[in-house]
Amino acid sequence: MNSDKVIIAVIVVIVLYAHWWVFQWVKFKVDEAVIQKRLSNSSNMDEQTIATVAAKTGISKDRVFKVCSKSQLAALKALISS
């Protein structure tokens, strides 16, 4: 009987972790798409900085920097190098 509770507890922990991971991944992808759309709609890429993108998208500067540094997209990588 005790081993059943341990197995259920382990399964619950795994499911909760998987849920958290999927939520973080989806949140990252949504933020990445918003930032990419903002950059593609911009007429002057030279004027785009993390601060301006954050102000225009409503995403915090820290989150914009984090998404850009984790992203595999060249446009977002270029934003953090400027």
Q: How many Å from the N-terminal Cα to the C-terminal Cα in the chain?
A: 60
Entry pTM: 0.80
> What sign does the CA torsion over 42, 44, 46, 52 have?
negative
Per-residue model confidence as pLDDT tens digits over 24-51: 999 999 999 999 998 888 777 667 888 8
- Quickly list DSSP for 41-79: H-S-GGG--HHHHHHHHT--HHHHHHHHHH---HHHHHH
Longest dimension (CA), the chain: 66
Q: Does residue 53 have a pLDDT over 70?
A: yes
